[in-house]
């Protein structure tokens, strides 16, 4: 048997669960019962440029738990390098949902984080190659909503002539 490298180990804020990723996917361990289960495999389905569904192999970087200890923010990194994006993994329903507009090509130009209220704030820097100004997108996590993620406020960021940041 080959060695499996465990990456990005994270305790949930409530101290009840431990999540980590390895070459096989994302795992969750319950601290009370010592149970262990794989909640996401290393293969996901995507829509290719021809709008055909394809299955690809990926690795995950667990970024952080949501404040309520239910959701994981993860970075998805396909085996064919060049792009990566962020997703939310519902640990109860074992459902992975991509966060729209978070793809980074080659050099990451964005940051993402949970707020204390459980929303996600995604910040992207400006990119003159695609004529995109810097912005912040707020995402609400709504477990009862079919899409799981609901777009909140979006703030376009620009610099005034004095150099101050304005929205």
**What are the CA-CA distances from residue 120 to residues 53, 68, 99, 153, 154 (Å)?**
27, 13, 10, 11, 12
3-state DSSP call for residue 43?
A: strand
Please give the pLDDT value at position 103: 85
What's the mean pLDDT in 71-99?
92
pLDDT digit string, tens, across residues 96-146:
999 998 888 766 678 899 999 999 999 988 665 656 678 899 999 999 999
SS3 content of the chain, % helix, strand, coil (to 5): 0, 55, 40
Please give the pLDDT value at position 31: 85
pLDDT digit string, tens, across residues 11-67:
999 999 999 999 899 999 998 888 899 999 999 998 877 889 989 999 999 889 999
Closest CA to 112 of 81, 138, 89: 138
pTM, two decimals, is 0.85
Tokens 């390895």, located at residue: 22
pLDDT above 60 (res 2): no
């Amino acid at each position: 048997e080959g060695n499996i490298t465990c990456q990005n180990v994270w305790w949930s804020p409530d101290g009840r669960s431990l999540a980590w990723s390895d070459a096989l996917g994302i795992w969750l361990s319950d601290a009370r019962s010592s149970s262990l289960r794989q909640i996401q495999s290393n293969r996901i389905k995507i829509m290719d440029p021809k709008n055909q569904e394809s299955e690809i192999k990926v690795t995950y970087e667990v970024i952080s738990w949501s404040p309520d200890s239910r959701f994981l923010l993860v970075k998805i990194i396909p085996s064919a390098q060049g792009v990566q994006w962020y997703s939310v993994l519902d640990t109860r329903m074992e459902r992975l949902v991509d966060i729209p507009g978070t793809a980074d090509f080659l050099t990451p130009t964005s940051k993402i984080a949970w707020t204390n209220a459980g929303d996600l704030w995604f910040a992207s820097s400006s990119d003159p190659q695609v004529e995109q100004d810097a912005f912040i997108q707020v995402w609400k996590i709504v477990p009862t909503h079919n899409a799981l993620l609901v777009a909140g406020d979006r703030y376009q960021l620009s610099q005034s002539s004095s150099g101050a940041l304005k929205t």
